[in-house]
Amino acid sequence: MTVSDTAPSPAAADAVLAAALLAIDPAGLGGILVHAGAGPVRDRWLDGVRHLMPADAPWRRMPVMITDDRLLGGLDLGATLNFGRTVAQPGLLADVDGGTLVIAMAERLAAATAARITAAIDTGVVAVERDGFALSQPARFGIIALDEAVSADEVPPAALADRLAFHLDLTALRLAQLPAFAVDHEELAAARAALPGVAIADDMIEALCATALALGISSLRAVLLAVQVARVHAAFEGRGAVAQGDAEAAGRLVFASRATQLPAAQDQPPPPAETPPPPDTETPPDADSPDQDLTDRPLDDVVLAAALAALPADLLATLRQGTQRRGQARTSGKAGMARLSRQRGRPVGATRGDPRAGARLSILDTLRAAAPWQTIRRRERAQQRGPAIEIRRDDFRIKRFKHRSETTTIFVVDASGSAALHRLAEAKGAIELLLADCYVRRDNVAMIAFRGTAAELLLPPTRSLVRAKRSLAGLPGGGGTPLAAAIDAATALANVVKRRDETPVVVFLTDGRANVGRDGTGGRARAEEEAFNAARQMRALAFNTLLVDTSPAPTPVAQKLAGELGARYIALPYADARGISRAIQLSQQGAA
């Protein structure tokens, strides 16, 4: 970076601007997704946002593993026992009405939890049908989702991200670059009051729509949010109608982070020559001179230029290569291999039992069990005064949980030249069969491909077979065999899977002929040594592994690799992909 450490960067200025706009219309803009590690930069920014919000507005932090009774609400036990009648307790979503909800570790947020939150965002109310209550409470709030992901396979749920107007990335910012927040509550309140009167002309809406299309943003919600951002920006600037500058700001703030393609314009510089790995130099933004003769250009071009100028350099590079910057959200599943447990997992009902033996008391079911007896018990104790509700030991009900132990099968596919020549098509066929199996068992699948100089995560763990199929079909072959890099990538992914409490099964489809080392350079001997090294490291972690030899005839090198991996070895039988399928089933049974 040539920029000095203390110069306020445009990204930092936008981070402050986004916060101010959110403070004007939290519910209308949805919120801010912030990609940043925990640290002073994020803390200072968060602190600034908090002070921008009205002093009396609620500010609540939500733990990522929140339970439904806290998120949505339910029975208030203390009050219920005290008064002898059912008393409802509002959940966090109702609590935060009119304020800001801070979601920590949003990248770990389960899709099911996200869906509960997005339902409240969409309707402005939280609908509760729980514990004998049917409530509908207002819940209009802004969200600050803190995304602390360090690797590309952890992303916040897309359904939530789609509804948040601003996606900021503070990872590259230094503390000194973050400008101070000028908090002027009166100014913000004035903007809030003026907002309903701010008009937006049709050509502005058209320009924003056209820009979104040009950048390959398909969600219409992004455009709706951009329209609202433009209006809030106009109100912030004290204008009664959306001006060009407001639309530009909206394009920059909302679209830049969501772009999936570059517009097919003629004034693009030609893409850099194919020199893998991509040069890590700074690519200047394409629209490096957006100020030139702005007046002559149609409005959509102006907005587009503003959005392009805000694209981070690395994003430009990846977009040009035609790949997404970060993987898509993983799916959250059902079924799988379920185990009943008394302590963890999803509650699936209650049973009579003793809550002291490490089990968790199901309060509501206990009350239900006790309820019909209250009249009799009251009569039994006659004159003596007692509690409003008398609960006896037989009434205790404990929660039963279903603990999901899912399997994630990681396919590591050799797409190098040697494999492509021989058996890539057959290997693909085998994987398709395996995918069908995974579908039946409702397993997750993930796919890593390696060719040329590096291994690439083609598909983060998902249950969507459509996507698995699609990524497999689009897999080209050719190039060197960076086996060590592939094993490293598989190990890393298997570790991620294991951390999620799922069981990884790793399936290598390769001929074992490593000829590219970890650093991307050739040399068979060293590459093989590195591959064996990586294999030994993987074996130490004791995952279930299977190596399918894809060479024309079984080779000693692949067998040796399987040995180092501690993997079951099978040679890919000709025209019998089903054989592999059986082999994997066997090794998965070994895992169970």
Partner 1 sequence: MALVFPFSAIVGQDEMKLALMIAAVDQSVGGVLVLGDRGTGKSTAVRALADLLPAMKASLDCRYNCDPASACEDCQKRKGRAAKSHMVPVPVVDLPLGATEDRVVGALDLERALAGGVKAFEPGLLARANRGFLYIDEVNLLEDHLVDLLIDVAASGENVVEREGLSVRHPARFVLVGSGNPEEGELRPQLLDRFGLSVEVRTPTDLKTRVDVVRRRDTFERDRAGFIETWRSEDEKLRRQIIAARKRLPDVAVTDAALERAAALCMKLGTDGLRGELTLIRAARALASLEGDMTVADAHLKRVAPPALRHRLRRNPLDDAGSSVRVERAIAELFGA
Applying the rule CB under 8 A, the residues between 171 and 190 that interact with partner 1 are none
Comparing CA positions, the residue from 334, 314, 336 lying closest to residue 325 is 314
* DSSP line for 435-502: HHHHHHHT-EEEEEEEETTEEEEEEEEES-HHHHHHHHHT----S---HHHHHHHHHHHHHHHHHTT-
Distance separating alpha carbons of residues 532 and 462, to the nearest angstrom = 29
Q: Which is nearer to partner 1, 458 or 531 (CB)?
A: 458
Taking CB under 8 A as the criterion, which residues in 434-453 touch partner 1? 435-436, 439
Q: What's the one-letter identity of residue 399?
A: K
Q: Binding residue for partner 1 (CB under 8 A) from 39, 40, 63, 84?
A: 84
Comparing CA positions, the residue from 481, 482, 492 lying closest to residue 543 is 492
Q: What angle do CA 189, 191, 197 make, to 5 degrees?
A: 125
| Contact status: 194 vs partner 1 (CB under 8 A) | no
Q: Which is nearer to partner 1, 175 or 199 (CB)?
A: 199
Q: Quick check: 482 and 413 in contact, CB under 8 A?
A: no
Q: Which is nearer to partner 1, 460 or 480 (CB)?
A: 460
Stretch that binds partner 1, among 276-284, 315-323, 331-339, 524-532 (CB under 8 A): 331-339
Ramachandran region, residue 518 (left: φ > 0; alpha: ψ -120 to 50; beta: rest): alpha
| Contact status: 193 vs partner 1 (CB under 8 A) | no
Shortest reach from residue 542's CB to partner 1, in Å: 30
Shortest reach from residue 37's CB to partner 1, in Å: 27
Q: Which is nearer to partner 1, 439 or 574 (CB)?
A: 439
Q: What angle do CA 548, 583, 540 make, to 5 degrees?
A: 65
| Contact status: 349 vs partner 1 (CB under 8 A) | yes
Tokens of 381: 């104790």
Distance separating alpha carbons of residues 320 and 443, to the nearest angstrom = 34
Tokens of 186: 């009166």
Q: Which is nearer to partner 1, 15 or 413 (CB)?
A: 413
Q: Binding residue for partner 1 (CB under 8 A) from 9, 151, 171, 219?
A: 219
Taking CB under 8 A as the criterion, which residues in 243-302 touch partner 1? none
Stretch that binds partner 1, among 312-320, 353-361, 433-441, 565-573 (CB under 8 A): 433-441
- Crossing angle, helix 220-236 and helix 202-214, to 10 degrees? 130
Taking CB under 8 A as the criterion, which residues in 361-420 touch partner 1? 364, 367-369, 371-376, 378, 389
Question: HSE (CB half, 13 Å, CA atoms) of 223?
Answer: 18
Shortest reach from residue 119's CB to partner 1, in Å: 6
Distance separating alpha carbons of residues 549 and 509, to the nearest angstrom = 6
Q: Binding residue for partner 1 (CB under 8 A) from 58, 64, 86, 171?
A: 86
Taking CB under 8 A as the criterion, which residues in 10-29 touch partner 1? 28
Q: Binding residue for partner 1 (CB under 8 A) from 150, 264, 273, 466?
A: 466
Taking CB under 8 A as the criterion, which residues in 121-180 touch partner 1? 122-125, 127-134, 158-159, 162
| Contact status: 574 vs partner 1 (CB under 8 A) | no
Shortest reach from residue 446's CB to partner 1, in Å: 15
Q: What's the one-letter identity of residue 296?
A: D
Taking CB under 8 A as the criterion, which residues in 26-65 touch partner 1? 28
